[in-house]
Amino acid sequence: MSLEKYLKYLRTDRLPHVWCPGCGNGIALKAIVGAIDELQLDPNKVAVVSGIGCSSRATGYLNFNTLHTLHGRAIAFASGVKLARPEIKVIVITGDGDLAAIGGNHFIHAARRNIDLTVVCFNNNIYGMTGGQYSPTTPHDSYATTSPYGNMENSFDLSRMAIAAGASYVARSTAYHFLPTQTYIKHGLENEGFSFVEVMTQCPTYLGRYAGIGTAPQMMLYFKEKAFNLPKPKAPEAGKAEEENILNDPIVRLQEAQRNNPGRIVIGEFINEKKPGYLSEYQKIVQKAMSMQES
């Protein structure tokens, strides 16, 4: 994709951006723009919603219908946009703190409803904009400004949480794996239902320094070396009890892959399930209510 093609999707008068040198958010943003271009979506029929945080500044640079909303409430705003204008593709750009801390309830219930949103989480495992505090995804025992002796809390696995809550499409990638990231976002946009794409991004200013991973190039190499694709599910074996085939459940597969590879990052498409979305179910209720009134 040429530079000229990218520029038509950007508000160039807002550049240069506010992100630190080496930040991975620009890579993730480029993947979103690339997916939109690949699908040839009409920019007038795309809405991008964000909350508060480093990741959420992305909406200011995009030349679409954009909403920069309240901390943790991006999915709530996006749900309203989708219900009011169902023909519009609605993308949510959020971060691990914005999504999983103050916005956690909106996240799990939107996934449960399977509402047609594509949520892209720039997960850098830390609060960046406010000074490097630990977030819900900061690894246990990691250092941050609010955990000078190591983080005593366990972290969320956002992709597993999305699957468990009912999302119909879930994938994870890293800033190093740009092409898969763009492909996953494209597949999320094509899905009818709640799509969640987790992009592991580097924050050299805080996490890289505090966790001892290093500079931006070192963090990119870290993603390259630590990431591995989730093994494909095995074909169900005839005659096996249902309990024995439970290992093909996406949550179990993801959990087992992580457990067997401590300290590494599982990437790939974890679930792509076709099931009724919230909008189609909502229309059924509307039709039922109207028919009852007519009778």
The burial class, CB within 10 Å (0-12 / 13-18 / 19+), for 59 is buried
Cβ within 8 Å of residue 98, ≥6 positions away: 50, 51, 52, 53, 55, 56, 71, 72, 74
Asked if residue 281 lies in contact with residue 178, where contact means CB atoms within 8 angstroms, the answer is no
Give the per-residue pLDDT at 30: 96
DSSP 265: E
Q: What is the pTM of this model?
A: 0.94
Which pLDDT score is estimated for 239? 62
Q: How far apart are the first and last CA of the chain?
A: 56
At residue 235, the pLDDT reads: 67
**Confidence (pLDDT) at 204:** 96
Structural contact between residues 51 and 100, judged by C-beta atoms closer than 8 angstroms = no
Q: Are 254 and 163 in contact (CB under 8 A)?
A: yes
pLDDT at 243: 59
CA of residue 153 relative to chain centroid, distance: 22
| Tens-binned pLDDT, residue by residue, of the chain (295 aa) | 677 888 999 999 999 999 999 999 999 999 999 999 999 999 999 999 999 999 999 999 999 999 999 999 999 999 999 999 999 999 999 999 999 999 999 999 999 999 999 999 999 999 999 999 999 999 999 999 999 999 999 999 999 999 999 999 999 999 999 999 999 999 999 999 999 999 999 999 999 999 889 999 999 999 999 999 998 877 666 666 555 566 678 999 999 999 999 999 999 999 999 999 999 999 999 999 988 887 6
Taking the C-alpha atoms of residue 173 and residue 230, their distance in angstroms, rounded to an integer, is 11
According to the model, what pLDDT value does residue 293 have? 80
Q: Strand 169-174 and strand 265-272: pairing?
A: antiparallel
Q: Give the pLDDT of residue 222.
A: 97
The residue written with tokens 């979506």 in the block is 41
Distance CA 281, CA 295 (A): 21
d(CA 294, CA 39): 41
3-class secondary-structure state, position 248: helix
**Which domains can be identified in the chain, with CATH numbers?**
3-294 (3.40.50.970)
Q: How far apart are CA 50 and CA 25, in angstroms?
A: 13
Q: How many residues does the chain have?
A: 295
pLDDT of residue 2: 75
